[in-house]
């Protein structure tokens, strides 16, 4: 029954808070700029690429007429990109997670040993992508592949393992995205209350049992986040696969680890630089980029949904 117009004096506002207003304004503008940039990019690509998208475009392969709008198809690239990303995940998640577990659960935080590993991970994160490409070429293809050939196919003239292949490209990408997975896993491990580890150990569990049955299951959402981040990064990278396995043109699809593959990102590069008629090719270019974006989004969304389901499951029962 109180008359709001007669609110007691003491609760009246003391004046206009310029600082808060200004700060809200600044953050609002920053958000708007970022969203704006994202919108511009997406709209630009969609605008130009939409015409090029058709069912045929997505599901058919391509032949040498990749520059012909009517004949181009990106299915091999979709397959190639997806395959290398999945293969990369198979390599990077186990290695990254185990490294993170070692750093968080087992290693002495102040020893030289730990600091060296941490330093290496940090530096790895800063290496330019092209350097990874060269690393892949020199180490995986030249050294590892070469040794494997010497071991298994000593009499062959043609290199079997020592040449660009989807296997080496995936492993190169795995090395590149390792820091992301390690850090994400470490963060999720650190977020787990130490009381849980104590509880498990006090019951007479070994450290391994504790990590495997108590810590890791709880860290899974975080690990998945690391996986999502690494997929997002790797899907769009071209430089690391340039020398290690991407092919200008292939008639078939990669069926063996030693096969090369076609790739969406690389294809965009080819379309831009090798096209005889840039005007004609432009729609294909944009369409390819759009497909790449859609693929990345789809991979991300699937992973996010899986993680959300996992988190919901953890909240209710296990």
Partner 1 sequence: MSEPQATTPMTRPTVQNRETETDADADADAVAPLIEVEGLSLHYGDAQALKNISVSIREKVVTAFIGPSGCGKSTLLRCFNRMNDLIDNVRIEGRVAIGGEDIHGPDVDPIELRKQVGMVFQRSNPFPKSIHENIAYALRLHGMRDKDALDQAIETSLKQAALWDEVKDRLHTSALGLSGGQQQRLCIARAIAIKPSILLMDEPASALDPIATARIEDLALELKNDFTIVIVTHNMQQAARISDDTAFFYLGELIEFNATSRIFTNPSHKQTEDYVTGRFG
Q: Give the interface with partner 1 as residue ranges (CB under 8 A).
A: 108, 193, 195-196, 198-206, 209, 213-214, 218, 314-318
Nearer to partner 1, 215 or 285 (CB): 215
Q: What is the CA radius of gyration of the chain?
A: 26
Nearer to partner 1, 20 or 317 (CB): 317
Q: What angle do CA 94, 133, 231 make, to 5 degrees?
A: 40
Nearer to partner 1, 63 or 198 (CB): 198
| Dist CA 92 CA 90 (whole Å) | 6
Nearer to partner 1, 1 or 202 (CB): 202
State in angstroms the smallest separation of the CB of 208 from partner 1: 11
Q: Report helix angle 278-316 to 216-236, nearest 10.
A: 180
Residue among 85, 56, 80 at smallest CA distance from 287: 56
State in angstroms the smallest separation of the CB of 213 from partner 1: 7
End-to-end CA distance of the chain: 51
Token output for 14? 């003391």
Nearer to partner 1, 206 or 251 (CB): 206
State in angstroms the smallest separation of the CB of 156 from partner 1: 53
Backbone conformation region of residue 158, classed left if phi is above 0, alpha if psi is from -120 to 50, else beta: beta
Quickly count: other Cβ atoms within 10 Å of residue 218's Cβ: 16
Q: Report helix angle 278-316 to 75-101, nearest 10.
A: 40
Nearer to partner 1, 70 or 317 (CB): 317
State in angstroms the smallest separation of the CB of 317 from partner 1: 5
State in angstroms the smallest separation of the CB of 98 from partner 1: 21
State in angstroms the smallest separation of the CB of 311 from partner 1: 11
């Amino acid at each position: 029954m109180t008359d709001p117009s007669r609110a007691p004096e003491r609760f009246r506002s003391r004046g206009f808070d310029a600082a808060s207003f200004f700060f809200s304004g600044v953050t609002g503008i920053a958000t708007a700029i970022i969203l704006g940039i994202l919108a511009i990019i997406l709209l630009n690509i969609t605008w130009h690429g939409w015409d090029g998208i058709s069912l045929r475009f997505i599901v058919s392969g391509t032949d040498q007429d990749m520059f012909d709008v009517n004949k181009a198809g990106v299915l091999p690239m979709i397959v190639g990109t997806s395959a290398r990303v999945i293969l990369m995940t198979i390599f990077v998640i186990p290695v990254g997670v185990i490294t993170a577990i070692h750093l968080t659960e087992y290693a002495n935080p102040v020893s030289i040993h730990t600091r060296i590993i941490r330093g290496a991970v940090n530096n790895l994160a800063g290496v330019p992508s092209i350097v990874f490409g060269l690393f892949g070429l020199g180490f995986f293809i030249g050294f590892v592949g070469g040794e494997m050939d010497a071991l298994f196919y000593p009499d062959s003239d043609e290199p079997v393992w020592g040449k660009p292949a989807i296997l080496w490209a995936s492993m190169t990408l795995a090395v590149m995205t390792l820091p992301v997975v390690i850090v994400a896993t470490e963060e999720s491990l650190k977020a787990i209350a130490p009381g849980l580890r104590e509880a498990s150990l006090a019951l007479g569990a070994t450290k391994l049992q504790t990590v495997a049955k108590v810590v890791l299951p709880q860290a899974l959402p975080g690990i998945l986040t690391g996986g999502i981040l690494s997929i997002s990064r790797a899907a769009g990278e071209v430089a690391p696969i340039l020398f290690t396995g991407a092919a200008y043109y292939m008639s078939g699809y990669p069926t063996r680890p030693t096969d090369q593959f076609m790739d969406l990102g690389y294809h965009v590069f080819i379309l831009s630089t090798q096209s005889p008629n840039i005007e004609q090719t432009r729609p294909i270019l944009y369409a390819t980029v759009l497909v790449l974006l859609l693929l990345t989004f789809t991979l991300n969304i699937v992973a996010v949904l899986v993680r959300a389901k996992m988190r919901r499951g953890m909240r209710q029962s296990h």
